[in-house]
Amino acid sequence: MSSTGDSRLSMRTEEGDEVGPRHLGFIMDGNGRWAQQRQLPRTHGHSEGARSLRRMIRLAKERGISEVTCFALSTENLRHRPDQEVQFLLDLLVQHLEQEREEMDRHQVCFRSIGRQDGLPPEVVAALEAATRETAHHQGVVFRLAVNYGGRAEIADALAAAARSDVDLSLNHRERQVSEHLYEPGMTDLDLLIRTGGEMRLSNFLLWQASYAELYFTDVLWPDFDAQHLDLALEEYSRRSRRFGSVPSRSQGGEV
């Protein structure tokens, strides 16, 4: 398949309509191993990973994808990674947001972030809020970073927020109320979740929003993930049929 991409890549829904992925998620794994393979510091791998992220936002836009959500830093990363590495990642995040501001303006990228901000340094919170505020009017692809984020924490926080709001949490209303109190209530569900680096798990990423997502795992390390690899994932997505609990119709080639 050509590495130039094809925005027409799509998949067939239960109604038989062909629809390409609108919301793409990334678990960007493999930066440290990429650096270790080259006998470089792990921090060098994270810097290369930031370049890959910049490339991927552009490629997603070219392929007609409207939202991209990336797992930048988990709550577990903050607790268990060495302090020096965590500080480097946070500094890199602030630097990336500042350096990419002109690029986001040029391509009308709308930046957003999700996660627990109360566990982040003030300068990181300020950078996230500034990028969100200054790109809120952009009409292009939505680029979202999950920072100090955990899927279980998001659901727990949503339940706590709903309880504080004194809303109806009876069985018939509970799912809607939780959804309305997530970190970004208007965020659409994931269509396709890609994890690089060879691991085959969700690692507590977007557990609510990825409930019906197609999952794609690749051994390619994140700094090496390029247009060709993205197109392979989209091509695989185009072969699948999303049924959301129904059975495939005969027209889809499945058993009734």
- Kindly report the CATH class assigned to 20-149+189-241: alpha beta
Torsion sign, CA atoms 233, 235, 237, 239: negative
Please tell me the pTM assigned to this model: 0.87
10 Å CB burial of residue 218 (0-12, 13-18, 19+) is buried
**What pLDDT does 243 receive?**
66
Q: Which tokens in the block code for residue 87?
A: 């500080």
Buried b (16+ CB within 10 A) or exposed e, 111-130: bbbbbbeeebeeebbebbee
What is the DSSP code string of 7-59?
Answer: TT--EEETTS-EE--SEEEEE---HHHHHHHTT--HHHHHHHHHHHHHHHHHH
How far apart are alpha carbons 193 and 185 in whole angstroms? 19
Q: Are strands 11-13 and 18-19 parallel, antiparallel or unpaired?
A: antiparallel
Q: What is the mean pLDDT of residues 206-220?
A: 97
Q: Which residues are catalytic?
A: 29, 77
**What pLDDT does 249 receive?**
52
Residue showing tokens 């109190």: 181
Checking 167-170 for CB contacts under 8 A at 24+ apart, the result is none
Q: What is the mean pLDDT of residues 123-149?
A: 97
Ramachandran area for residue 191 (φ above 0: left; ψ -120 to 50: alpha; else beta): alpha
Is pLDDT of 3 > 50?
A: no
- Cβ 17 vs Cβ 11: under 8 Å: no
| Degrees to nearest 5, angle at CA 112 with 108 and 115 | 165
Is pLDDT of 160 > 70?
A: yes
Collect all residues with Cβ–Cβ distance below 8 Å to 196 and sequence separation of at least 6.
Answer: 26, 27, 28, 29, 30, 218, 220, 221, 222, 225
Per-residue model confidence as pLDDT tens digits over 214-256: 999 999 999 999 999 999 999 999 998 776 556 555 445 444 4
- Cβ 142 vs Cβ 135: under 8 Å: no
